[in-house]
Chain A
Amino acid sequence: MSGLVVRDLRVVFDGFVAVDGVDLEVAPGDIRFLIGPNGAGKTTLVDAVTGLARATGSVRFGDDELLGRPVHRIARMGVGRTFQTATVFEELTVLQNLDIAAGAGRGVLTMLRRRRSVPAAVSSALETIGLADLRDRPAGALAHGQKQWLEIGMLLVQDVKLLLLDEPVAGMSHDERDATGELLRVVSADRTVVVIEHDMDFMRSFANTVTVLHAGKVLSEGTVAQVQADPAVQQVYLGVG
C-alpha cells in the first residue's frame, strides 16, 4: 500500500489562487476527510491530484510523481475518483459499467470480442457494493445512493490504490450513509481513501483523520477530536455546527 504526499501544491485560475501551498500527507490505509467551507479548495485539490487542474508543487503517490501527467495515465497508476454528481454510464447496465472500469489494460483482441463471462473482480465488487441483484439494470434506473455505490464499485474493479471521493453521501438517507461508511471501512483495508465531505455526522462516525482547508490553505489537521478542539477551526467552520 502507498500513501499520498502533497508538497507545496498551488493551483491558480486566471490569477485566483484556489489552492495556496498545501502540504498534505495521507498514510497508507488511512481514511482522511477533507473538510472546509465552500471555496476552500477541496475539490480543486482533488482535481490537481487527478490531473484535471494544472498545478505546481509536487504530488507523489508511492514512488510516482503525479503532477504533469495526463488524466488517464494517473488513473492507470492506481488513482481513482468520484464526482459530486454521480457520473455513471446511464445507458449501460451495472455490469457493463463495472466491466468497463475493469478494462483499461485490456488488449485489442479482448476489446473486439464480446464479454463471455463476468470477471472475478467485477462479481466480487457487485457483492461488496450490494448491487449483485441489479447487475442487468441500466445504471440510469438506479436510485441516487446506488449510483454512488456503483461509482465506488467502479473504483474497486479499476483496482485503484487511492480513492478520492467527492461528497459521496450527499443526498443519501441515513441508512444509506451508514452503509456507505461501512463500505469505506471495508475498502480502506488495503487502500488509501480521501473523502471530501460536508456532512459532519458522517465525518465523526467514519473519519480516521481530518484535514481542514480554508481559503486554499491547510488550517488544521489531526484526529476528529483534535480538529474539533482547534480554536481556529471552531472559528471558521465547526463553530457553526
Chain B
Amino acid sequence: MKTGMRLSWRAGLGFAVGAAVLFAVAPVALSDFRLSLLAKYLCLAMVAVGIGLAWGRGGLLTLGQGVFFGLGGYAMAMHMKLADAGPGEMPDFMQLYGQLDALPWWWRPFANPAFALPATVLLPMLVAFLLGSLVFRRRVRGAYFAILSQALAAAMAILLIGQQGTTGGTNGLTDFQGFFGYDLDDPVNQRMVYFIVAGVLLLLLALCRQLMQSRYGELLVAVRDSEERVRFLGYDPANVKLVAYVTAAGMAGLAGALFVPAVGIINPALIGIVPSIEFVIGVAVGGRASLLGPVLGAVAVAWARTTLSEEFPAAWTYLQGLLFVLVVAFLPGGLASVARLVRRRRRPPPDPAPVSPAPVLTQEVTA
C-alpha cells in the first residue's frame, strides 16, 4: 500500500515535469523550426508508446506499425485535402494527373470530419483486430508474427505507390493549406499543432501507464512469458494479445493523424518497412518494457537521425544499425535500465530467498 502511494506520487510528479518541459520550456527554448521538428518526434514517440505495450509487455514484435501509422495519416491527409479543395471539388493532385473524372467513392466519406477524425484511430484498430484475430488464434507468434507484420507494411507501401491516381503514389499526400480552418503556414497555428501533439502524447502515456499497472498489464506479462500456462489458468491468450495489439494500432493511427498537420506530408516512404523497423529501434534503444523508455528512445533516435544525417547522410543507416546491435547485445533493458544498473552497482545485492518455509506448512496441517 505504502509503495503504491509513493509510486503514484512519483508518477504525478513525472507527468508534471513532462508537461512543464513540453508546454513551458520547449516552446520558449526552441525556434519555430526546432519546435516543429520536436512535434514530428513526439508523433513518432506515440507510435513507440504503443510498441512498448505490445512488444515490451506483450512480447509481440510488431515490425509493421507503419501500416497503422499510415492508415491514420492517410485518413487525416485525405480529409485535409478535401477540405482544402472545397465542397464537391477534387484534390489538386487528382486534377493534375487528370486520370479521374470524379472523386473515388472511398474518398467521399473523408470529407466529413465526423467520419475522418474517428477513422484515423478506429480504422487502424479495426485492421489490427481482424489481422490479430486471425493470427493469434492460429497461434502464430515470435519471428513468424514479426515477419508477417513486416510483410503487411511492405504490401501497403507497394499498394499506395501503385495507385498513383487516387493516393498520390510515391509523392503521397502533401501541400496542405489548412487544418480545420486554420492556416498551417502561420507559425502560431504550427505552435498550436505542437501543443495538441504534446497533449495527446501525455494522454497516451497516462493511458498506457494505467494499462501496464492494471491487472490486465500483469496478465499481459504473464502471456508474454508463458502463454501455455496462462491458457491452463482459464484465459484465452489470443484475446489478451489482441487488446495490446489493437491498442498499439490505435496509438499508431493517432500518431499518423497528427503527423500530417505537424509535418505536412504522408507518403509510402514514411510507412513502409524501413520506418516500421525504425520505430522498433527507437523503442529498443529507450527500453521496451518501461513506460518512458520508448518515448525517450524514439525522440533520441529521431533527433540523432536528423542531426547526423545533416552531417553524414550516408553514414546514418550504418550508425543506426550499430546502435541497435549494441543495445540488444549489451543493454537489453535499453536506456531506461541504466539508472537501475547504476543503483544496483552501488547497493549490495538483496538477501537470497529464505530457504524452505516447510515447517510453517507442517505446523499448519497438524494444528
Contact = CB atoms under 8 A, between A and B. Distances in A.
Q: Do A and B come from one complex?
A: yes
Interface stretch (A33-41, A177-185, A213-221): A177-185
Contacts of A70: 236
Given A111-B216, A173-B356, A92 B221 contact: yes
Contacts of B236: 70, 72
Interface stretch (A3-11, A23-31, A75-83): A75-83
A71 interface: yes
**Residue from A76, A129, A145, A179 with most neighbouring chain B CB atoms (10 Å):** A179
B362 A115 contact: no
B233 A130 contact: no
**Residue from B4, B222, B228, B352 with most neighbouring chain A CB atoms (10 Å):** B222
Given A104-B233, A113-B214, A129 B219 contact: no
A114 B213 contact: yes
Contact of A89 (B213, B221, B232, B364): B221
A179 B358 contact: yes
B10 interface: no
Interface in A132-146: 133-134, 137, 141-143, 145-146
A111 B214 contact: yes
Contact of A111 (B215, B222, B230): B215
Given A100-B222, A110-B215, A111-B214, A176 B356 contact: yes
Contact of A72 (B231, B356, B364): B231
A206 to B, nearest CB: 12
A175 to B, nearest CB: 5
Contacts of A178: 358, 362
B222 A92 contact: yes
Nearest to A128: B364
Nearest to B230: A100
Given A127-B364, A185-B365, A71 B357 contact: no
Contacts of B216: 111-112
Interface in B52-111: none
A182 B366 CA distance: 9
B210 A89 contact: no
A114 B215 contact: yes
A129 B222 CA distance: 21
A90 interface: yes
A197 interface: no
Contacts of B23: none
A96 interface: yes
A99 B213 CA distance: 13
A112 B216 CA distance: 6
B215 A113 contact: yes
A87 B229 contact: yes
B361 interface: yes
A233 interface: no
B210 A158 contact: no
Contact of B219 (A75, A111, A113): A111
A168 to B, nearest CB: 14
Contacts of B233: 72, 75, 80, 100-101, 104, 154, 158
Interface of A: 50, 70-72, 75-76, 80-81, 83, 87-92, 96-97, 99-101, 103-106, 110-115, 127-131, 133-134, 137, 141-143, 145-146, 149, 154, 158, 173, 175-176, 178-179, 182-183, 185-186
Given A104-B234, A114-B4, A141-B353, 7 more contacts: A83-B229, A87-B226, A89-B221, A91-B225, A97-B222, A100-B215, A112-B216
